[in-house]
Amino acid sequence: MEVISLLECLQEIIDNASRVPITGKIMVDKDEISEVIDKIVNYLPDEFKKAQWIVEEKERIISEAKLEADAIKSESLEIVKKQIDTHDIVKAAQAKSDEILSGAQRDAKAMRLAARDYTNEMLTKVEKELATASQKMIVGFKKEAEDFLESVSTNLSSTSSTIRDNIKELRNMK
């Protein structure tokens, strides 16, 4: 998925960014970061548009099926009115109408379930991808923080040692 590669690119930009001494911060190129974020924002709506299209298509098909069922019912009613004397025809028309309505309802339910499953699958994928990317970022941030703390500790130890040596030297000068 293109969004994942863009998130990895964003992580690489952060990992390779210049460090600002002492602050534990990094400097990044705003335009470069903005460009990657814009691409991510542009790709995500495509997935949402697909899901929206499926929902709209399902609703359209259900609506058409209902219209068709209503048309068939009306047609059947006319036939029944014309041939009311023949009881078998009324039963057959009712059975056919019920069969068509039942089929339309089954199809609508199947499409509704398929759309829900697809949307759920897409959202689950996005959620997993975001969780993976955020976990990678957290690990990267932890590593940077640990490295910085270790560097500060080393510098403090070195500075303390130099100060102690300077104090000894000053005491020996008396």
**pLDDT score for 50:** 79
Residue segments in the chain with a per-residue pLDDT below the cut of 50: none
Number of domains in the chain: 1
**pLDDT score for 174:** 65
**pLDDT score for 39:** 86
**pLDDT score for 84:** 67
**pLDDT score for 124:** 93
Residue 7, token pair as written in the block: 């998130």
DSSP 8-state secondary structure symbol assigned to residue 17 = S
Query: From CA 65, how far away is CA 87, in angstroms rounded?
Result: 27
Report the DSSP beta bridge partners of residue 25: 20
**pLDDT score for 81:** 77
**pLDDT score for 78:** 84
Q: What is the biggest distance separating any 2 CA atoms in the chain, rounded to whole angstroms? A: 132
Query: From CA 144, how far away is CA 14, in angstroms rounded?
Result: 11
**pLDDT score for 77:** 85
Range of the domain at 139: 2-172
Q: Which helix (H) or strand (E) holds 95?
A: helix 87-172
Query: From CA 161, how far away is CA 8, in angstroms rounded?
Result: 42
> CB of 115 within 8 A of CB of 58?
yes
**Statement: the pTM of the whole predicted model exceeds 0.85:** no
